[in-house]
Amino acid sequence: MKLSLRDTTGCPTPLGVTSIGSWINFALFSRNADTVTLVIESDTAQHTTETAEFLLDPRSNKTGDIWHIQLSGLPPLIRYGYRLSGPWEPTTSGHGFDDSRILIDPYARELSAPDWGDDRSCLGIKCCSLIPETSYDWGGDRPLKTTLQDSIIYELHVRGFTRHPSSQSSCPGTFKGIIERIPYLQELGITAVELMPVTEFDENDAHFHNPDTGKKLKNYWGYNPLSFFAPKTSYAHNRAHPLDEFRDMVKMLHRAGIEVILDCVYNHTAEGGWDGPTTSFRGIDNTIYYLLDPWIREYLNFSGCGNTCNCNHPIVRSLIMDALRWWVAEMHVDGFRFDLASILGRDQQGRVLSNPPMVEIIAEDPLLADTKIIAEAWDAAGLYQVGSFSPHPRWAEWNGRFRDDVRSFMAGKPGMVPALATRISGSSDLYQHNGKRPYNSINFITSHDGFTLADLVSYNNKHNLTNGENNRDGDNTNLSWNTGEEGETRDPDILRMRSRRIRTMAVILFLSQGVPMFVAGDEFRRSQQGNNNAWCQDNPTSWLDWNLAAENRGQLRFFKKLIQLRRQHTLFRRTDFFTGDNSQIIWQGLKPGSQDWSFKSHVLAFTLLSHQPEKHNKTTGTAFFIMFNGHRQQTARFTLPAPPFSGQTLVWKKIIDTSCTPPQDFVSADQAQPFNGDDTMDIAPMACAVLQAHPQGDNQ
């Protein structure tokens, strides 16, 4: 049975589907197709499918490179897609047309996709693009506009955050599941969640099997997009309304004071190389959307995933910008982290541009002016641009140097004291030369990619055998130290040292200049059993076990209080770099006035001062003295400097000591032990202590 519809010529703009009165306009770009056919499907009450196909006439249904048509009489809940014919010439022209495929509209805002794990996917096989309902009651929701320097970013996986049975979620693994956990996020104190990819992907496209069980693995992380617009249907508890459920999540997070940042993948798609599936871009105009070798027409692979998007082609630039604008205007997101962002700076031959149009357009777009834009400033082909990704002041970067230098110092490696000081003070070596600020540095020690914080102190080597690649995948350079025994242990001394190292690294992360980011579960010691590339582990390896929050409540408390301390004191959130005149930061080694930057040194201390009064303290200024001991075995004896601010009688109060067991590791000022200048303090191996200046006798 066929649908009975009326059609007319239609309009070339905007791309995608648009309602015009009782008509629906369809517009698709393809420069090199010979023919374009719009396919419409609708399910009947009798559980049959009605289909209509419209072969577009290039004389009336094409303007320039845009194919278009308008239809009326469409039933509700239709699905649509496109057949395109033209040459299939992988090794000559590079075209990849195949009219046996029904392709996804690149501008589709919603897709018909199966439940998680259901391999009966229609994506790229049948019509699966949908016409979403556009109305939504935002209830007055407005952007929070949290300044970047005041942000604390919490990276999480939508499914993994509440999929574990311990979450006790009524809607596990969904946007709604995140809503249920908002009270926890508020109590933790973070200001933004950074969601790993949420646009539609096929979790069944992994080709590996668990060697122990033989079970096929999943593409759990989702860095393989089928769409730049459509939210992943299986991340919605109500599969019929994924857009509304995503919006509900954003609205409720905003009400809780928490922003939403999306991890966006514009460097490649799920179509991969010539041996990959044709679902959209390849079948619409392969030579436009992807970078191809000019001679043999193979895909240029700067992403490590088989293909690379042609980001600086005007058509692809427009697609990316339209997607970003839609996420901000229609879905109210607050920012973006760009995966392998260095690819955005390559031209159509893959060469690195000095002033990439794509990078500049994102920074200068007026609709995105209030959003956070964060680059992963490298790609899979060895291009590493941390500190040089873009001179534009709006671009922040994942600071991989911060990660590596802190890990190295906290693994006991020599020669790391100068680098640690540079990272703590905001990475001026990377960002000051081009007029940027400390908050352009997104500081992190762990992320989804690599060891968790618990594994960083428990494993020397990756343990990725269950990924099915014979332990070949994942980074071999982890800059970790297992603290004396690989993996799980019952040795109480090793367990105490591991706990101490985790808390010391947390102090470095949250009390350094720049913007701290940490991955969900690090606050309560989530482990992946040494797997440093868990992209395919849709199981308890990757899911958050919420039982650990109770089991490691002492560490969770420590994280909460650290975050609170950072948010209370602006001197940890500077907007400019230190001047070098000792008026704001004073470095020392074991003794005041004596610095030790030598290769053999493993100790660092500094006084951090703010001469501006803060609402949380009664003095005319705020000061902290912080000591780190990076020795694996030796205790370090520091001599304390005199408390600052002449004319006041101050003492040091030791509020943090990571060598102590919880809750003595972080105490309030009225419980803290007082110290004077010239007193000495022993700092245990791999420990740190934080002292705060207080008026003598003041217990507030």
Let me know: does 518 contact 492? Beta carbons within 8 Å: no
The per-residue DSSP string of 329-354 comes to: HTT---EEEETTGGGGGB-TTSPBPS
Q: Are strands 153-156 and 129-130 parallel, antiparallel or unpaired?
A: unpaired
Strand partners for 63: 66
Q: In 242-313, which residue ranges form alpha helices assigned H by DSSP?
A: 242-255, 281-289
- What is the arithmetic mean of pLDDT over 263-284? 96
Let me know: does 175 contact 158? Beta carbons within 8 Å: yes
- Domain-located, residue 256: no
pLDDT of residue 181: 98
CA-nearest of 135, 129, 261 to 192 is 261
3-class secondary structure, 669 = helix
- pLDDT tens digits, one per residue of 243-268: 999 999 999 999 999 999 999 999 99
Please say which residue of 100, 130, 160 terminates a domain: 130
- Domain-located, residue 616: yes
Residues in CB range of 213: below 8 A, 6 or more apart: none
Structure tokens at 162: 């509440």
- State the pLDDT confidence band at 43, using cuts at 50, 70 and 90: confident
**CATH code, 83:** 2.60.40.10
- State the pLDDT confidence band at 616, using cuts at 50, 70 and 90: very low
Residues 298 and 89: their CA atoms lie apart, in Å, by: 11
Strand partners for 622: 610
- C-alpha dist (Å) from residue 551 to 546, 554, 657: 9, 8, 21
- pLDDT tens digits, one per residue of 447-461: 999 999 999 999 999
Whether 376 is a known active-site residue: answer: yes
- Domain-located, residue 345: no
Instruction: Tell me which of 155, 194, 202, 339 is the catalytic residue.
Output: 339
Mean confidence (pLDDT) of the chain: 95
Structural domain tally of the chain? 2
Percent of the chain with pLDDT over 70: 97
CA-nearest of 81, 74, 71 to 8 is 71
CA-nearest of 228, 261, 263, 233 to 245 is 233
- State the pLDDT confidence band at 340, using cuts at 50, 70 and 90: very high
Query: Is pLDDT larger for residue 538 or for residue 124?
Result: 538
pLDDT of residue 434: 87
Largest CA distance in the chain: 91
- State the pLDDT confidence band at 119, using cuts at 50, 70 and 90: confident
Is pLDDT at 700 greater than 90 in this prediction? no
Instruction: Give the start-end residues of each E strand in 340-410.
Output: 372-375, 395-398
Residues 669 and 695: their CA atoms lie apart, in Å, by: 11
- Domain-located, residue 202: no
Length of the chain: 700
Residues 248 and 237: their CA atoms lie apart, in Å, by: 12
Choose the weakest-confidence range: 4-13, 53-62, 389-398. Answer: 4-13
Read off the DSSP letter of residue 239: T
Residues in CB range of 145: below 8 A, 6 or more apart: 370
Let me know: does 438 contact 426? Beta carbons within 8 Å: yes
Strand partners for 683: 636
Residues 317 and 228: their CA atoms lie apart, in Å, by: 12
Q: In 18-169, which residue ranges form alpha helices assigned H by DSSP?
A: 158-162
Contacts 24+ apart (CB under 8 A), 171-176: 171/237, 173/116, 173/234, 173/235, 174/235, 174/236, 174/237, 174/245, 175/231, 175/235, 175/236, 175/237, 175/242, 175/245, 175/246, 175/248, 175/249, 176/236, 176/237, 176/238, 176/245, 176/248, 176/249
pLDDT of residue 122: 74
Is pLDDT at 619 greater than 60 in this prediction? no
- What is the arithmetic mean of pLDDT over 462-478? 97
Chain center to CA of 171: 23
Please say which residue of 78, 97, 130 terminates a domain: 130
- pLDDT tens digits, one per residue of 303-312: 999 999 999 9
3-class secondary structure, 446 = coil
- What is the arithmetic mean of pLDDT over 155-178? 98
Whether the pTM exceeds 0.85: the reply is yes
Instruction: Tell me which of 110, 194, 259, 376 is the catalytic residue.
Output: 376
The per-residue DSSP string of 512-525 comes to: SSSEEEEETTGGGT
Structure tokens at 167: 């979450």
CA-nearest of 202, 328, 182 to 255 is 182
Choose the weakest-confidence range: 74-83, 395-404, 426-435, 641-650. Answer: 641-650
Is pLDDT at 620 greater than 60 in this prediction? no
- What count of Cα atoms within 13 Å lies in the side-chain half-sphere of residue 441? 33
Let me know: does 395 contact 335? Beta carbons within 8 Å: no
- C-alpha dist (Å) from residue 278 to 101, 114, 119, 317, 534: 8, 18, 16, 21, 26
**CATH code, 639:** 2.60.40.1180
- What is the arithmetic mean of pLDDT over 632-655? 91
Domain span holding position 126: 6-130
- What is the arithmetic mean of pLDDT over 86-115? 96
pLDDT of residue 582: 78
- Domain-located, residue 605: yes
CA-nearest of 278, 282, 236 to 113 is 236
- What is the arithmetic mean of pLDDT over 151-173? 98
- Domain-located, residue 552: no
Is pLDDT at 12 greater than 90 in this prediction? yes
- What is the arithmetic mean of pLDDT over 426-430? 97
- C-alpha dist (Å) from residue 505 to 180, 283, 310, 407: 29, 48, 39, 8
Q: Are strands 680-683 and 372-375 parallel, antiparallel or unpaired?
A: unpaired
- What is the arithmetic mean of pLDDT over 296-317? 96
Please say which residue of 98, 130, 162 terminates a domain: 130
CA-nearest of 300, 310, 306, 311 to 278 is 306
- Domain-located, residue 66: yes
Residues in CB range of 321: below 8 A, 6 or more apart: 361, 362, 365
Strand partners for 55: 37
What does residue 346 show for φ and ψ, rounded to 5 degrees?
A: -100, 145
- Domain-located, residue 166: no
| Burial category of 67 from C-beta neighbours within 10 Å (exposed 0-12, middle 13-18, buried 19 and up) | buried
- What count of Cα atoms within 13 Å lies in the side-chain half-sphere of residue 628? 31
